[in-house]
A and B are shown apart, each in its own frame.
Chain A
Amino acid sequence: MSSILNSYFVKTHRLEISITIIAIVLFLIYFFGATHVFTRFPIYRAFMQSMPFFGIIAISATFVVTLGEIDLSFPSIVGITSLTFGMVLTSTDGNFFISFTLATALGMFAGLINGLLVTKIGIPSIVATIGTLFFWRGLVNVISQGSGIAIVDEADGTWHHMIFVDKLFNLIPAQFIWFVVLTGLMQWVYRYHKFGNHIHFVGDNKASAQMMGIDVDRVKIIAFVQLGFFSALAGIFTMYEMLYFWPTQGSGLMLTTLAAVFVGGTSVFGGKGTVYGTFIGVLIIGSLESGIVALGLSGFYVQFINGLMITIAVTIYALIQKRKN
């Protein structure tokens, strides 16, 4: 047993192992506490349906957090890009390519602005993205004048609708498959691509990274741009599921998304993190509400237990980090 605990894999994957154990314990509690619900498929289908909407953003935000930066504006980027997608789709009689291209391009543009404010102007990201959070949501309100957009006629039953949110074998929501594939891809980039490598070095120590010839500003800007892209993508997934745009779309995503990243074990100080951990973080945070209600507790417990989970998880990571040092 002690040889397993001291093995190379365990030593280098303490965070990942801790988060996995936390998730397993949580799901065991669900399973034995609400057996009637958790022995049936519908609850899992509900999870798979709803988790990707914030999960995709959480995976992408892991890169920004590893830089030691934060982006608070993504809920509004979801809003403005969803609005764009809805408007273009309805006005082009359902032209998917134009709508998709414009919405994601706008998302990347919004990310670019965040990146430039942080690197070239030198505004701390937490401040800069509060500004853009209000800016983009404000723009949504001005343009939409508070009303929503239905895309039922343009999207329902189309091939693009199927690609995004259809059920595979009538069981598994397509968005969940996308989410899993993207997680794998992003984990690969995070650990094994030059870009991911640079993310780690810049987040670890900006000055050293610069001395090693890494273009710090460029790495940061790209990180914000990809988060803008994935925020747009998450918005589009939500649109296909709901077939409707509403002006507050995305605004509930902030805390769950960031909670998933931190519960997943990515350090707020930068330089260390895990995309896999974020994935598990999404499973934990995304299951709490239904899980708690299924256990027979009232909805009033949701926030309380959410808070408990986050605090316990980050405490464990802080202790692991302390022991390492």
Chain B
Amino acid sequence: MTDQLLKLENIYKDFGNVKVLKNINITINKGEVVALIGDNGAGKSTLIKVITGVHTPNSGKIFFKENEVQIKSVSQSRKMGIEAVYQERALCDQQELYRNIFAGREITNSFGFLKIKEQRKEAERILRDYIGFTSKAITVDSQVMGLSGGEKQGVAFGRSLYFNSDLIVLDEPTMGLSIQETEKVLNFVKGLKNENKSAIFIDHNIIHVYGAADRFIILDRGEVVGEFLKDQISREELVQKMIQLHESGKIKVDV
């Protein structure tokens, strides 16, 4: 039990009459990458929004580091050590890289003025140590609009590592990226484990998911219908399960 980072117990979430999440029970361990898979409308996004504080559940309990918590806002979840990385909304295009890294958590003096030197120095360290940018074309003063999709994603990752988040929530991190870029992003995800960080990650592409995750949780119409460790299931079997679910609306669980 000491490995447990996040635990959701009997989580329910309704939007009006629509029951979006029904009795969700999941656990994320330290240093583990968990993939949420399932069709559109299965409740994946709502589930991660409950974790990042965008939505509050109607009932159920959330435990973080074995303490019961209530996550009411994005800034609260960030303070606890949960960081979301969104493909489209990770960064602001016209602002410099170092300002993006510290946006919302600026290093300032007591009058609120930015410590530019310190921010730039730390940003350089993040680029070098966490992200591994070696290209001379990208500096901390670069505007974000000059970066490729994968590079932007890398900066968002680097930021979450720097701020020492324990759990990184990735909402379709490879959406709209080229094959090469996708590779980079998946490598970032794998790299999280070396830092003993955990991640929850949503992706439509089972091949991406299989490569990067340790465990798969299958959602269907608001319920967890299957859970597999990577050791227990081959990629082909996982694909089979999804087809089975798609065709019959049921899944044969044999964990």
**Which positions in A face B, CB cutoff 8 Å?**
8, 12, 188, 192-195, 197-198, 200-201, 204-205, 207-214, 271-272, 324-325
Decide: B92 and A193 in contact? CB cutoff 8 A. Answer: no
Contact of B93 among A194, A195, A205 (CB under 8 A): A205
A307 to chain B, nearest CB (A): 28
A-B contact pairs, 9 of them (CB 8 A): A193-B114, A197-B103, A197-B106, A200-B92, A201-B95, A204-B95, A213-B75, A271-B93, A271-B94
Contact assessment for A211 and B90 in the assembled complex, using a CB-CB cutoff below 8 Å:
yes
Supply 12 further A-B pairs (C-beta < 8 A) apart from A200-B94, A214-B104, A324-B143: A192-B114, A194-B108, A201-B95, A201-B99, A201-B103, A208-B89, A208-B90, A208-B92, A211-B86, A212-B92, A212-B104, A214-B103
B84 neighbours in A (Cβ, 8 Å): 211
B136 within 8 A of A: no
Cα of A325 to Cα of B143 in the assembled complex, Å: 10
* B28-76 residues at the A interface, CB under 8 angstroms: 74-75
Provide the bound-state CA to CA distance between A197 and B116, in Å.
11
Is B113 on the interface with A (CB-CB < 8 A)?
Answer: yes
Is B26 engaged at the interface, CB distance under 8 Å to the other chain? Answer: no
User: Does B200 interact with chain A (Cβ within 8 Å)?
Assistant: no
With an 8 A cutoff between CB atoms, is B145 at the interface?
yes
- Residues in chain B near residue A195, CB distance under 8 A: 112
Our pick among A12, A204, A209, A214 for the contact of B141 (Cβ within 8 Å) is: A12
A205 and B105 CA atoms in complex are apart in Å by 17
CA distance A108 to B141 in the complex (A): 36
| Chain A proximity of B227: nearest CB distance (Å) | 29
Q: Tell whether, in the assembled complex, residue B92 and residue A204 are in contact, meaning their CB atoms are under 8 Å apart.
A: yes
Which of B74, B78, B114 is in CB contact (< 8 Å) with A197?
Answer: B114
Closest chain A residue to B144, Cβ basis? A204
A213 close to B104 (CB less than 8 A)? yes
**Chain A nearest Cβ from B176, distance in angstroms:** 16
Which residues of B lie under 8 Å from residue A8 when comparing CB positions? 141
Q: Which residues of A contact B92 (CB under 8 A)?
A: 200-201, 204-205, 208-209, 212, 271
Closest 8 CB pairs of A and B: A213-B104, A204-B92, A212-B104, A271-B94, A212-B103, A194-B112, A208-B89, A213-B75
- Measured in the bound complex, the distance between the Cα atoms of B141 and A210 in whole Å is 22
**Is A211 in contact with B74, judged by CB distance below 8 angstroms?**
yes
B95 touches A211 (CB 8 A): no
Contacts of A207 in B (CB 8 A): 89
In the complex, A205 Cα to B92 Cα: how many Å?
6
Q: Is B91 an interface residue (CB 8 A)?
A: yes
What is the bound-complex CA distance between A289 and B114, given in angstroms?
A: 40
Q: How far is the CA of A207 from the CA of B93 in the complex (A)?
A: 12
Return chain B residues, CB-CB under 8 Å to A198. 103
The answer for the CA separation of A208 and B114 in the assembled complex, in Å, is 20
Query: Nearest-CB distance from A224 to chain B (Å)?
Result: 19
For residue A133, give the distance in angstroms from its CB to the closest CB of chain B: 30
Q: Is the CB of B74 within 8 A of A193?
A: no
On chain B, the residues within 8 Å of A192 by CB distance are 113-114, 116
In the complex, what residues of A have CB within 8 A of residue B99's CB?
Answer: 197, 200-201
Chain B residues, CB < 8 A from A12:
141
Cα distance, A193 to B110, chains bound together (Å): 11
Distance (whole angstroms) from the CB of B51 to the closest CB of chain A: 14
Taken together as a complex, chains A and B put the C-alpha atoms of A200 and B92 apart, in Å, by 9
In the complex formed, the residue of A with least CB distance to B75 is A213
State A201–B100 Cα separation when bound (angstroms).
8
Residues of chain B with a CB closer than 8 A to A205's CB:
89, 92-93
Name B139's closest neighbour in chain A (CB-CB): A8
Give Cα A200–Cα B95 distance, bound, in whole angstroms. 7
Complex Cα–Cα for A210 and B113 (A): 21
Query: Among residues 86 to 145 in chain B, which have CB atoms less than 8 Å away from a CB atom of chain A?
Result: 86, 89-95, 99, 103-106, 108, 111-114, 116, 141, 143, 145
Contacts of A211 in B (CB 8 A): 74, 84, 86, 89-90
Shortest CB distance A149–B (Å): 39
| B78 CB to nearest A CB, Å | 6
- A208 and B141: CB pair below 8 A? no
Partner of B114, one of A194, A201, A212, A271: A194
Task: Name the B residues within 8 Å of A193 (CB-CB).
Answer: 111-114
Decide: A325 and B145 in contact? CB cutoff 8 A: yes
A204 B94 Cβ-Cβ under 8 A = yes
Once bound together, how far apart are the Cα atoms of A204 and B145, in whole Å? 11
Q: Which residues of A contact B90 (CB under 8 A)?
A: 208, 211
Nearest Cβ on chain A to B228's Cβ, whole angstroms: 31
